[in-house]
Structure 1
Amino acid sequence: MKKFLTVVLCCFSAVALAQTKGVVSVVKDPMIDSLIAKRIELSSKAAAGAPGILSTGKPGTTIVSQMGYRVQIFYGSDRREVYSAQSKFNSSYPELNTYITYKQPNYYLRVGDFRTRLEAQRLMNELRLIFPTLFIFREKINAPNLNYNND
């Protein structure tokens, strides 16, 4: 009889202490839904192209990231000197992209997006008289468009 009462009391206490179902209310800003929708739209546009291609938003232009080479033409701790070297380079070679990075305590000016080391070496040979300290670095580049002529 004691065992029966113990089992019955356990069952009633389990039912009495059981949790009841509740309602969860989510409070959020309505802008979150619009941001999520924009993110989905942007990622679907990028996925519509080829994998590894990021769209810049301009029609007909894409940026393909891959490993390549850049030529470092200047480094120093003075920001004004780096910007003057950049303008000096841009006046001579406006078709090549320039990239300024800062790693404490120096600024680095690297130029070009070259697929092969040979292309970077050609530019380095042209610039040797203008810029005394030149180095070639392998890093992730924005791959240039290939222009094929059907001649």
Structure 2
Amino acid sequence: MNKYFLLTCFFCLSLLAVSAQDKKGILEEHKSTLIERLQQERTVFGNAETATGEGEGTRPGVPVKTGQKVTANGYRVQIYSGTNRSDAYAAQAKFKHIYKDLNTYLGYEQPNYRVKVGDFTNRSHAQALMNQLKKSFNSVFIFTETVNLEY
């Protein structure tokens, strides 16, 4: 009895699936106004970043500043990691001498000091800076972390 019941259920479900595939439907696209607005703001921000030339060129990823401060997920470039504190401060000073407009962050996780630079929301900007820094610093890496942004 159970076999016939299961077989009947399977057959009915198969017919439903086949009949659902035969119907021709109309595809409707629903666009969220919020997503459109976010895309427009992103486009405007991207254009403002490159309009002055500060986002491109010799100092990649430096945004135009308007005074609003926020935090977001992003990228930083590590330029030093080691146990010597004075070497960490020297690497930080060397970087600040070259890039006065980018932030530097010195951190300590026992037993290492780490110097990370920049606040990038775009990995390609962090990669461009990393490529430039390879000439001046020995071991350069990109890290994903919470960054400070000023718009």
Q: What interval of TM-score do these two structures reach, taking the shorter chain for normalisation? A: 0.5 to 0.7
> Which runs of no fewer than 5 residues in structure 1 stay unpaired?
1-59, 146-151
What is the rounded CA distance, in whole Å, between the counterparts of 2:109 and 2:87 in structure 1? 16
Runs of at least 4 residues off by over 3 Å: none
User: Between the two proteins, what is the percent identity of the paired residues?
Assistant: 48
What is the rounded CA distance, in whole Å, between the counterparts of 1:92 and 1:138 in structure 2? 23
Q: 2:149 aligns with which of 143, 146, 149?
A: 143
Q: 1:128 aligns with which of 124, 134, 145?
A: 134
Amino acid at match of 1:94: K
Alignment of 1:35-46 (within 5 A): none
Amino acid at match of 1:118: S
Contact kept in structure 2, 1:66 and 1:140, CA below 8 Å: yes
CA RMSD of aligned residues (A): 1.2
> Which runs of no fewer than 5 residues in structure 2 stay unpaired?
1-65
What is the rounded CA distance, in whole Å, between the counterparts of 1:143 and 1:87 in structure 2? 22
Match of 2:67 in 1: 61
Contact kept in structure 1, 2:88 and 2:115, CA below 8 Å: yes
Match of 1:82 in 2: 88
What is the rounded CA distance, in whole Å, between the counterparts of 1:106 and 1:63 in structure 2? 29
Amino acid at match of 1:64: V
Q: Report how many aligned residue pairs link the two structures.
A: 86
TM superposition score normalised by structure 2: 0.55
Contact kept in structure 2, 1:99 and 1:110, CA below 8 Å: yes
Give per-residue Cα distances to partners, 1:52-108, cap 9 Å, x unaligned. xxxxxxxx7332010000000001111111001100000000000000010000000
Which structure ranks higher in relative contact order (CA pairs < 8 Å, sequence separation ≥ 6)?
2
TM superposition score normalised by structure 1: 0.55
